[in-house]
Structure 1
Amino acid sequence: MSVAETIETASSFVLDAPPGELQDVIADIKTLVNNDPAVLDGVKPAVEKYNKEQLITTKLPGASEHVIISEYNCLPGGRFFDVGSRSSFGFDHVKQRASNPQSWVLESGNAELIKALLRDVAPHVKEHYPSSPAFGVYPVRDDAVIAVVVVGNKYSPSNYWNGRWRSTYTYTPSSTELTGTIQVDVHYYEDGNVRLLTTKPVQVSLNSGTSAEIVKTIASHEKKYQEELNRAFGALSEGAFKNLRRQLPINRQKIDWEKIGNYRLGQEIGGGRSVTR
């Protein structure tokens, strides 16, 4: 395999990394390519793309609140800005760390609406995203559109699962149109490998386009989608998943798979009957 092909394959691994597991994927790539600098440099664009698409959150040095990495708050020179903290900062995409924060001033014809949205969306995020939430409001597309981004991460590697909720909305003041996407990504990997990926589009024509109306609409759609997911999970648990295999064997006793595995291995070593797998 050529270096270019190796970079392409490794980049696909990066872009498919589950929530909270990018560093593990990068470590595995380093092992697989024997720390080949050409390959590691070659996957950096994929790492940057992953961080922006996944809306990675980070803390500024000395700060307690999370800020977001996205396509909406990029600055020249690889820096990013955050309206809420009125700062710009550098970001190491491989290490996923922010650095060198500097003062930054919002310059936008929609500045008052952006500030109002930051104020009004905060209670919604804090109520419904209790674990490491982050949100941001940004002027985009030459100040013709406002982006509202909400991220909720919950990582539990000790229990073999990680998850991320991403909500991205764009509001166009000239047409009072609100469009967006809600994405849920959950990875469960104890004694298996199960991943949930969902996408829910949002498109609404608002009446007045005030900050309160925008946030109320966002909250309503997110609540509705959460309820839809809960119903779907319940149906899967009681339906498809339950029918995949018998919960208990006929004798009503749980199977000790480790004991059976050792028994079969002993038979094979001892020259017993063959076992078909």
Structure 2
Amino acid sequence: MASQLATVSAFVEGAPPGELADVIADIKALTIESPNLVSQLGPAFEKYNEEQFATVKLPGSSQYVIVSSHNSLGNGRYFDVENSSSFVFNHTTQKASGVQSYVLESGHSDLVNSILKSLGTHVKEHYPNASYGVYPIEGDSKIAILVVANKYSPNNFWNGRWRSLYIYSPSSSSLSGTMKVDVHYYEDGNVRLLTTKPTSASISSGSASTIIREITVAEKKYQEELNKGFNNLSEGAFKGLRRQLPITRQKIEWDKIAGYRLGQDIGGGSSKR
């Protein structure tokens, strides 16, 4: 049972963007003989939601907030600096409840709020739709900067997610982080792109504007690298995988071939039986 739970948990943790509900439905279908298995997946759901920067609308609000280990208060409660609130997040239903007022207590409160304001401008300029957050971490010694952008198009058989995580250290004026892209395309096949780009920089002034400027430069460079990589894939590996048209320049009607008699219709002569 333990090995089965570990296997199923791995399925959850590897779910593509926007497809967790589909994965859960498949798990239920595959584990009919263990109907209580899904109820034991709480830790896997929590790990998935926190690592993927799950977003949720707070009751009475139209704005999405982020769920991550960086803004966790423990026991399923998280806080959001911009809304000055904390909330309980159900990792199974992905719903928020129990919203309360939350006052940020940090020696870097001014810097956190300044970064949050500059980050909001950056996100609005460079993302069609994204959520972001800034949180003091590691005993108030560092600041975590998060951005997550989701775009789901199940009718066209693809879903994608961008995640950025940057850690700024006020004591050393250093910025380090990673940018991650996860795209799943599944029309008549199954192709998934998972890529991670690390970045680091020294922030001379330590101001919010300088920090966000470094983030902007890093993300622009990464976007250009991705675009170049996509072009190379299209002209290289993917092109090599495509079936070329025959010399007649017409598509082969494979369904008809199944009904042809081998000797007469394919071999060019009459079939003798």
Settle same-fold status: TM greater than 0.5.
yes
Match of 1:241?
A: 238
**What residue identity is the alignment partner of 2:183?**
V
Change (3 A) 1:231 1:7: same
Work out whether 1:227 is the aligned partner of 2:221.
no
**What residue identity is the alignment partner of 1:201?**
P
Q: Distance in 2 between matches of 1:27 and 1:86?
A: 36
Once the two structures are superposed, the pairs formed by residues 109-258 of structure 1 within 5 Å of their partners are 109-131=107-129, 133-256=130-253
**What residue identity is the alignment partner of 1:25?**
V
SS in structure 2 of the partner of residue 182 of structure 1: strand
Q: After TM superposition, give the deviation of residue 205 of structure 1 in Å.
A: 1.1
Q: After TM superposition, give the deviation of residue 150 of structure 1 in Å.
A: 0.3
Q: After TM superposition, give the deviation of residue 249 of structure 1 in Å.
A: 2.1
Q: Distance in 2 between matches of 1:247 and 1:67?
A: 47
| Pairing partner for 1:25 from 23, 26, 33 | 23
Work out whether 1:44 is the aligned partner of 2:42.
yes
Q: Distance in 1 between matches of 2:104 and 2:148?
A: 22
Q: Distance in 2 between matches of 1:76 and 1:19?
A: 25
TM-score normalised by length of structure 2 = 0.92
Match of 2:255?
A: 261
SS in structure 1 of the partner of residue 37 of structure 2: helix
**What residue identity is the alignment partner of 1:261?**
D
Match of 2:53?
A: 55
Q: Which moved more, 1:173-182 or 1:55-64?
A: 55-64
Q: After TM superposition, give the deviation of residue 16 of structure 1 in Å.
A: 0.7
**What residue identity is the alignment partner of 1:186?**
V
Match of 1:79?
A: 77
SS in structure 2 of the partner of residue 200 of structure 1: strand
| Pairing partner for 1:102 from 97, 100, 124 | 100
Change (3 A) 1:37 1:240: closer
5+ long unaligned stretches in structure 2: 264-273
Q: Which moved more, 1:37-46 or 1:206-215?
A: 37-46
SS in structure 2 of the partner of residue 192 of structure 1: coil
Q: After TM superposition, give the deviation of residue 4 of structure 1 in Å.
A: 1.2
Q: After TM superposition, give the deviation of residue 9 of structure 1 in Å.
A: 1.1
- Deviations for 1:210-229, whole angstroms, at most 9, x for unmatched residues? 00000000011001100010
SS in structure 1 of the partner of residue 231 of structure 2: helix
Change (3 A) 1:41 1:162: same
| Pairing partner for 2:68 from 53, 70, 88 | 70
Change (3 A) 1:208 1:35: farther
The alignment covers a number of residue pairs equal to 263
Paired-residue identity, %: 57
- Deviations for 1:162-186, whole angstroms, at most 9, x for unmatched residues? 0000000000000001000000000
- Deviations for 1:38-81, whole angstroms, at most 9, x for unmatched residues? 42232221111000011111111111111001010001321000
Q: Distance in 2 between matches of 1:141 and 1:191?
A: 46
Please provide the CA RMSD for this pair: 1.5
TM-score normalised by length of structure 1 = 0.91
Q: After TM superposition, give the deviation of residue 255 of structure 1 in Å.
A: 3.3
